[in-house]
Amino acid sequence: MKEPLKLGIAGLGTVGAGLLELIAKHGSGLEETLERRIVVTGVCARNRDKVRGFAIGDAVWFDDAVTLATDANIDCFVELIGGDEGPARAAVEAALKVKKHVVTANKALLAKHGMELAKLAEKSGVSLNFEAAVAGGIPVIKMLREALAANEVKRVYGILNGTCNYILSKMQDEHLAFDDVLKDAQAKGYAEADPTFDIGGFDAAHKLALLTSLAFGTKLPADQIHIEGIQTINAADIEAAHSLGYRIKLLGVAERTSTGIEARVHPAFVPEEAPIAQVSGVTNCVAIEGDFSGSVLLVGPGAGSKPTASAVASDIVDVARGLVLPPFLKPVAQLKPFKRANLSGHYGSYYIRLSVLDRPGAMASIAKRMGDRGVSLESIVQKKPGTSDAAAPVVLITHETTEENIRKALDAIEADGKVAARPQMIRIEEL
């Protein structure tokens, strides 16, 4: 029997509690499988006196995460604190410097400091594992680092934020307004009091940055991702999508192009018959397209105590087995600089919603502006305004064109003063 693997766990919130429960329930089974015990020897959290509803057993309490991370009586530091700076960063750096393995669920920390932390891990010859940082219980990091490592990945995309997927699903299924569904999501704990990080697309962008680096062997592109949130999606967009045979999803997409890698987070129309369109509620999904594997779709819970704890535990099992891989599949020195494709060259179809003022020649002017930029229209649907003096809602579906053309056409339409509000543009993704 090997020596026990001794864990120090920093952060005893939802995921920390789930991890302790998992170890208590399945520890003996893991010991038989690994021929090695997994033991929690130290824990740390902000409030020692908080009533948590679970026991920490014989683990020693630490008031400081860095002290726990460097304690001689742990082999593996499990960081579940969160945040891209402060105690999380300091403790992870400290652990790696003294050659402790690190398991983290902290996507924000990795998106901002992943390269320097990976260098530390490589220098010390230890693991920096982060399965739980992307898509909760879905094993997408292992899929890219291990199962699909022999493939050239062409594209990776998916639903990476459960809050946004819950809001958009409920808006479509129950015909509710965005603000009402957001309040419901906050009441159920799916959205924070300040939901900007989720609904603004930033959470999904952090996750996409990690997937992009793994999929394409590049340095992290955290500041190179095009981000749009779902704040502007309203009932008219949801209704139009349904009438046209689509559903609206917030997607994270990274794909190779002839000019570089497109990495983007934004709402998109996806065909109702596409598997990703059927993923509802707080569920996440990730699709990976490899040159030999074909398209692989992973679907599962994107957050929550047990699914995330399961992902953390899978990383701990790898440490117990002695499996040490470069955090981003290749050593940092071998990762290529991220070459960002110019999104203006993106080629596809678009949904456009306009609030057209009741003025002579308004529609003719709009059609001319589209034609001036070579944008061909597949369909035009105009609905009656709610009142006699209100702007008329007009929905346009374009044939395939470049992002540059459609944006310049919309800028010109807005500048002409024929619309009452900024045009709504949503990309159509034929997945």
Rounded Cα gap, residues 236 and 244, in angstroms: 12
Among candidate residues 6, 112, 170, 207, the one labeled active-site is 207
Query: In this structure, are residues 306 and 22 in contact, taking their beta carbons and an 8 Å threshold?
Result: yes
CATH of the domain at 44: 3.40.50.720
pLDDT at 389: 60
Residue 166, domain extent: 140-301
Longest dimension (CA), the chain: 85
Which residues, other chains included, contact 360 with Cβ-Cβ below 8 Å and sequence gap of 6+? none
For 47, half-sphere exposure in the C-beta direction (CA atoms, 13 angstrom radius) is 5
Are 80 and 152 within one domain? no
DSSP code of residue 336: B
pLDDT at 189: 85
Q: What are residue 80's phi and psi, to 5 degrees? A: -130, 30
Residue that finishes a domain, picked among 133, 155, 171: 133
Q: What angle do CA 237, 242, 248 make, to 5 degrees?
A: 55
Q: What are residue 130's phi and psi, to 5 degrees? A: -150, 40
pLDDT at 388: 53
Q: What is the pTM of this model?
A: 0.94
Are 125 and 144 within one domain? no
pLDDT at 386: 58
Are 221 and 246 within one domain? yes
Are 188 and 81 within one domain? no
Tell me if 341 is assigned to some domain. no
Residue that finishes a domain, picked among 243, 277, 301: 301
Taking CA atoms, 290 is separated from 144, 201, 251, 297, in Å, by 10, 26, 19, 11
Tell me if 356 is assigned to some domain. yes
Residue that finishes a domain, picked among 273, 301, 329: 301
CATH of the domain at 361: 3.30.70.260
Which residues, other chains included, contact 28 with Cβ-Cβ below 8 Å and sequence gap of 6+? none
Are 126 and 146 within one domain? no
Query: In this structure, are residues 163 and 201 in contact, taking their beta carbons and an 8 Å threshold?
Result: no
Are 38 and 174 within one domain? no
Per the document, the length of the chain is 431
6 is catalytic: no
Blockwise average pLDDT, block size 10, the chain, 431 residues: 93 93 94 94 88 81 96 97 96 98 97 97 98 94 95 97 96 95 91 93 97 96 95 95 96 95 97 95 96 96 92 97 95 96 93 91 91 93 67 92 96 92 94 85
Token pair in block for residue 217: 């062997």
**Number of folded domains that form the chain:** 3
